[in-house]
Structure 1
Amino acid sequence: MGLGRLMVTLKSKIRSLKILKKPDYDKVEKSESMRMEIRSRKARKLIEETLKVADSPKPKAFAF
């Protein structure tokens, strides 16, 4: 019975070490230019979708 308890303890310690392991890379902070680029991409995508709906021959009904 003592061996089983030891195995459970070791397994739980190994799991906790895996959880606490830090990633092997540093997180890159977004600069202001990166944020602007992300916003402009989202804006371009939204404009493209809007123009696609506006140019489609289907009725112009929006579901808000």
Structure 2
Amino acid sequence: MAMAIQLESLVQSIKSKVRKLKKSKKPYVKMDKSSSVRVEIRSKKARKLIDKTLQAADKPGKTSLT
């Protein structure tokens, strides 16, 4: 009986700690992309487009790039 009471009090304390953590959560602040990140994204997109173009050039029967 004493074990059950101890277990119940432990569960209640854990629940209350979890509730406090959920309430104290700070709002997410979205950061703008830096210029270097923008350049990197652009270069990745360009690289993908170049790869697609090269693959299309290797298959002369198909002209679609999509």
TM-score by length of 2: 0.50
Identity %: 17
Looking at structure 2, the residues matched to 5 and 11 of structure 1 have their Cα atoms a distance apart, in angstroms, of 10
Change (3 A) 1:54 1:46: same
RMSD of Structure 2 on Structure 1 (CA): 3.2
Looking at structure 2, the residues matched to 60 and 45 of structure 1 have their Cα atoms a distance apart, in angstroms, of 23
1:1-64 equivalent positions in 2, closer than 5 A: 3-17=3-17, 20=21, 35-56=34-55, 57-58=58-59, 59-61=62-64, 62=66
Q: Which runs of 5+ in 1 are unaligned?
A: 23-28
Q: Which runs of 5+ in 2 are unaligned?
A: 25-29
Change (3 A) 1:11 1:60: farther
TM-score by length of 1: 0.51
- Largest Rg, 1 or 2: 2
